[in-house]
Every structure is written in C-alpha cells, then in structure tokens.
C-alpha cells in the first residue's frame, strides 16, 4: 500500500514539475518585442496622436499614426516614464511592438560626444518673455502642432545669421529651434529668417531633420 501511495506521489510530482517547466518555457519563448526606429513627422495635440515615418516588417518605409489615449507607455532615453511633450517633430524614437500592438514609445539616446539636441523648423506664433510658441512643419508641407519652448540662459538667438534678441522676432517668421539634449522643451539656439530664404548649415555639419 505504501509503495502504491509513494509511486502515485512521485508521478504527481513529476507531472507538476513538467507543467511548471512548460509554463516557464512558454513565457521565455513567447512572442518577442519588435523594436523599430522611427522619425516623428507630426504631433497632433488635439487628437493626441503621433504620426511616424518608419519601416514595416518587410522593410518598406511607411507613415503610421499612433493613438496615445489609453495606448503605449512613453519613456525618455534613460527609461523614465514621461509625457508626450518630451518628443518633438523631426525627433527620433524607438517603437516597441508586442503582439502586433504598439506597447511602448522610447526617446532615442543622443550620440555619445555629440552634445547636440534635436533641431526642427516651423513658424513663430508668439513670444512672451523668454518663451516662444511655434507651429512645427510636418512632412509634405503640412502644418504641425503648436508647441512651446523656453530659452536657455546661454541660448543663442540669430536673425539671418546675426545675433539678435528673442523680442526682435515677429509672428509668422520661419524659425529653426535646437533643443537641449534630453530636454525637448528648452531651446539652446533659435534662428529666424527675415531677408534670407534659407538657414545656415547647422553647427557640426549636420542637416536639420526637416530640411
């Protein structure tokens, strides 16, 4: 009798271990996250959406709109949970998909040693003290959303390539704003066009994402 009970207990124990192992294997070998680098082409604050230029599974470049309400988690480049205002049009992010759904949006890290932030262009809406409101430029000539920047203490302001004051800028002027690395709301450089038709080449020899 004891032998029968012992054998039954051994069988139950083996079955339990087998199921536990299978469950762990299923979790470890489940669908892997798909991470894709994307460029933000439009931020629509009214609709709470991001429009991205990215590659699909086949490698084809597509434009995709992501609904943010009740949607993906948003993180900065250090993995800290943040709001969508850390993103700017023309900036790059990582899109993490899980089971065919966008699970996470993560801001990309700055290149080591570059010390440069994101640069984007648009039209000036207004200036109040050390703050400016601008409307970004979307792809294909479409207007982007309005967003604000606060001027850094050591920021440069240029009008047609010459130093000027933020108060010298007028609504409707085309401007190019460079933000601090890791801080999409603080402007370290503001360039405005008056008589010139194009901006000077950005510092460091790089092209602006929206040019």
Place of tokens 């948003």: 74
Listed by start position, the domains of the chain span 34-107, 119-205
Place of tokens 């899109």: 95
pLDDT for 109: 57
pLDDT for 33: 78
pLDDT for 86: 79
Q: Does residue 57 sit in helix, strand or coil?
A: coil
Cα(101)–Cα(104) distance, integer angstroms: 9
Q: Which CATH number fits domain 34-107: 3.40.50.620, 2.40.170.20, 3.10.20.30, 2.40.50.320?
A: 2.40.50.320
- pTM score, two decimals? 0.45
Q: Hey, do 34-107 and 119-205 end up sharing a CATH topology, with the first three levels equal?
A: yes
pLDDT for 171: 95
pLDDT for 16: 38
pLDDT for 172: 94
Contacts 24+ apart (CB under 8 A), 105-109: 105/50, 105/66, 105/72, 105/73, 105/74, 105/75, 106/74, 106/75, 106/76, 106/77, 106/79, 107/75, 107/76, 107/77, 107/82, 107/182, 108/37, 108/77, 109/77
Class of domain 119-205: mainly beta
Q: What is the pLDDT along the chain (211 residues), one digit of tens a residue?
A: 545 444 544 444 444 344 434 333 333 333 467 888 888 888 888 888 889 988 888 888 899 999 988 889 888 777 788 888 778 777 788 888 888 888 899 887 544 334 455 788 889 999 999 999 998 876 656 677 788 899 988 899 999 989 999 999 999 999 999 887 767 788 999 999 988 888 876 544 333 333 3
């Amino acid at each position: 009798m004891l032998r029968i009970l012992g054998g039954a207990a051994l069988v139950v124990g083996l079955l339990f271990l087998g199921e536990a192992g299978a469950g762990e294997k299923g979790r470890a070998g489940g669908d892997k996250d798909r991470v894709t680098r994307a460029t933000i082409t439009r931020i629509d604050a009214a609709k709470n959406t991001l429009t991205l230029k990215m590659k699909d599974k086949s490698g084809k470049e597509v434009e995709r709109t992501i609904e943010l309400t009740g949607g993906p988690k948003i993180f900065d480049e250090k993995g800290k949970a943040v709001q969508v205002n850390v993103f700017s049009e023309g900036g790059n992010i990582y899109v993490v998909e899980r089971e065919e759904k966008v699970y996470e949006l993560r801001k990309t890290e700055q290149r080591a040693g570059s010390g440069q932030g994101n640069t984007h262009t648009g039209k000036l809406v207004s200036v109040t003290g050390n703050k400016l409101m601008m409307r970004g430029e979307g792809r294909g000539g479409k207007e982007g959303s309005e967003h604000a920047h606060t001027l850094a203490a050591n920021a440069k302001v240029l009008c047609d390539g010459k130093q000027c004051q933020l108060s010298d800028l007028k609504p409707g002027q085309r401007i190019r704003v460079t933000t601090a690395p890791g801080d999409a709301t603080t402007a370290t450089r503001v360039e405005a066009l008056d008589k010139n038709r194009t901006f000077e080449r950005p510092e460091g020899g790089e092209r602006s994402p929206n040019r």
